[in-house]
Amino acid sequence: MYNGPLVNIFCFQAGHLPGKVRGLIDLLLEEQTKERASGGAVVLTDECLQALILEMIAAALVTTLCSESAIMLCLINHPEWQTRIHTELDAVVGRGRRPRLEDRERCPVLEAVVLETQRLITVIPLCGPHYCKENISFEGYDIPAGSMVKQLMN
């Protein structure tokens, strides 16, 4: 069990108000309480909740870092867009403060670059493998039942 400072489930439990769901952790704590009250097996143990929370944090960090790296890669290869984004940020935000989330709607060039990068470079593959339920023939290929099929995204 992880006992480091990153996730301490007991801090969340102390602030949890039964019946008031403020987010995903409260929802998980509500389900844990229901499981304990039912008298059956408890699947959502404290260790399980810690693992779920750590996995969500790790997934958020990995996808964010990969997205930022992909954007930097594209901007290194297209410095003209880096200049356009810089000019737009200077006009919208200025140099006296840091950008805020509400600035995003006034930065269409930045938004377009982010969306285009996400379209060009897939950070997390969204199409997992599928399995054939029955024997099929597809574009001249015979695919037996139980075969794993993966899509090409390009």
Q: Quick: pLDDT tens for 96-120.
A: 999 999 999 999 999 999 999 988 8
pTM to 2 decimals? 0.57
| Dist CA 29 CA 17 (whole Å) | 10
Cα 78 → chain centroid? 26
For 17-58, write each residue's pLDDT tens digit.
888 888 888 888 888 888 989 988 888 888 888 888 888 888
Q: Is the pLDDT of residue 154 over 50?
A: no
Domain segments of the chain as ranges: 1-66, 78-123, 126-154
In this predicted model, what pLDDT tens digit does every residue of 72-102 receive, in sequence order?
999 999 999 999 999 999 999 999 999 999 9
